[in-house]
Amino acid sequence: MTSHFDAVVIGAGAAGLMCAMEAGSRGKTVAVLDHADQPGRKILISGGGRANFTNLHCRPDNFLSSNPHFAKSALARFTPEDFLALVRKHRIPFHEKKLGQLFCDRSARDLLDMLLAECAEAGVQLFLGSSLSEITRPDGFHIRTSRQTFTAPALVVAAGGLSIPKIGATGIGYDIARQFGIKVIEPRAALVPLTFSARDLAQFQELSGVSTEVTASVEGQAFREKMLFTHRGLSGPAILQISSYWRQGGAIEIDFAPGEELFAPLRGRNARRDPASAEAALRSVLPQRLAARLIETAPPTGWTNAALDEAETRLHHWRFLPAGTEGFSKAEVTAGGVDTDALSARTMESRAVPGLYFIGEVVDVTGHLGGFNFQWAWASGAAAGRAL
Ligand code: FDA
């Protein structure tokens, strides 16, 4: 059986549904295909089940890409306020958690229901449980699935990245790009916990569960947020954020006490200078277990001012050499992806293959933690949906 549509969208996730409802509401006939038997599974698990669906302070520098200018146009033409207008229209209760991060009060299900309702109203047809077998382009696109064949002058690839394969992530979006001669920037796990080397594991494993505010930095990027010790390495917002910038083999610098002078209590004229007072000084700023471990593993080498200066510097510039990341099974997003040089920044259409569009996470645009990845999915989806 063959069905004809104005556009076929591959992927019923955040970007695909947004694109389909925009195009459908402009009178286009749209089919959305997904191999999963439910749409929007990632939306449902996002933000701990409450979806951090946008960020009020969204700026282009909240995104990584080989071309840092690429996302600007789409982000400017579909803003967090535009998405909020939809959320308000559907009377979905939400709140700002911190730093402009907006979450559903009840459940991410509200958001998915909203997108599905908009798609239904726009006449979008969903084809779930559809495994792709072949895409050809004799005259327009022919998309063959396990169930039927679709023909359309436009094909939108919204198949996401490689993160969380157990809920349906595949590399199909990258395969389609390569099939049409479009370059893919090597995909890599981002917003992901980092693992300890054997030496660090022996020193820090028992701190699992300890959390403290740090500044984590690499190559001029710095994030001051909470860091969490895990039984395998480091996590928490500061580490997830910096992981997107980290490359295998590189070091991350950790400031354990941003803005604090840890050994200040030892500097007074009559202050005691010994291991106990050094540990007490650290305990007044850092979690107890962390303070004890740092004094044990890296005590001041003496009690002169120079030795205290050196110990102080070390704790503000701790050099962490991760062994690796916890990989795509734990990564919140995939960095890298379809090369933005191959796409129009206004419409997301391929420059070389008219009618072929890439949107959302499959594109080499990756947001910081805090609602930015959804905002990119909405903005890039809307950009393509309006252009179809
Ligand atoms: P998405 O992955 O949503 O959708 C892709 C769709 O394509 C899926 O439905 C998939 O089944 C389908 N597909 C894949 N392969 C296919 C194939 N071979 N054939 C057919 N269909 C196929 N971001 C944020 O801003 N705020 C947040 O709170 C969170 N929280 C969060 C938590 C967790 C645990 C994760 C893993 C991720 C987040 N994110 C997030 C990131 C956010 O979920 C992500 O960036 C967007 O969902 C990307 O939207 P896309 O539509 O591009 O891909």
Annotate 49-64 with DSSP letters as a single string.
GT-EEEETT--GGGEE
pLDDT of 297 strictly over 90: no
**Mean per-residue pLDDT, 213-239:** 97
- Which structural domains are found in the chain, ordered by start? 2-189+329-387 (3.50.50.60), 194-325 (2.40.30.10)
Q: Whose CA is nearest to atom 6 of ligand 1?
A: 11
Which of the listed residues 22, 44, 46 should we mutate to test ligand 1's pocket, taking the one with most ligand atoms within 8 A of CB? Answer: 46
Check residue 62 and give its pLDDT.
Answer: 97
Q: Whose CA is nearest to atom 2 of ligand 1?
A: 160
Tens-place pLDDT, residues 70-97: 999 999 999 999 999 999 999 999 999 9
pLDDT of 270 strictly over 90: no
Tens-place pLDDT, residues 322-367: 999 999 999 999 999 999 999 999 999 999 999 999 999 999 999 9
Give me the DSSP letters along 36-104.
SSSS-HHHHHGGGGT-EEEETT--GGGEE-SSTTTTHHHHHHS-HHHHHHHHHHTT--EEE-STTEEEE
The verdict on the CB of residue 361 being under 6 Å from ligand 1 is: yes
| Residue 269's pLDDT band (cuts 50, 70, 90) | confident
Q: Is 0.95 topped by the overall pTM?
A: yes
d(CA 47, CA 336): 22
Q: Which two tokens stand for residue 17?
A: 């549904």
Check residue 102 and give its pLDDT.
Answer: 98
d(CA 190, CA 35): 24
Which of the listed residues 35, 42, 52, 373 should we mutate to test ligand 1's pocket, taking the one with most ligand atoms within 8 A of CB? Answer: 42
Between the alpha carbon of residue 55 and those of residues 3, 80, 241, the distances in Å are 39, 7, 15
Residues 6+ apart with CB under 8 A from 267: 261, 305, 308
The verdict on the CB of residue 11 being under 6 Å from ligand 1 is: yes
Check residue 259 and give its pLDDT.
Answer: 96
Tens-place pLDDT, residues 135-184: 999 999 999 998 899 999 999 999 999 999 999 899 999 999 999 999 99
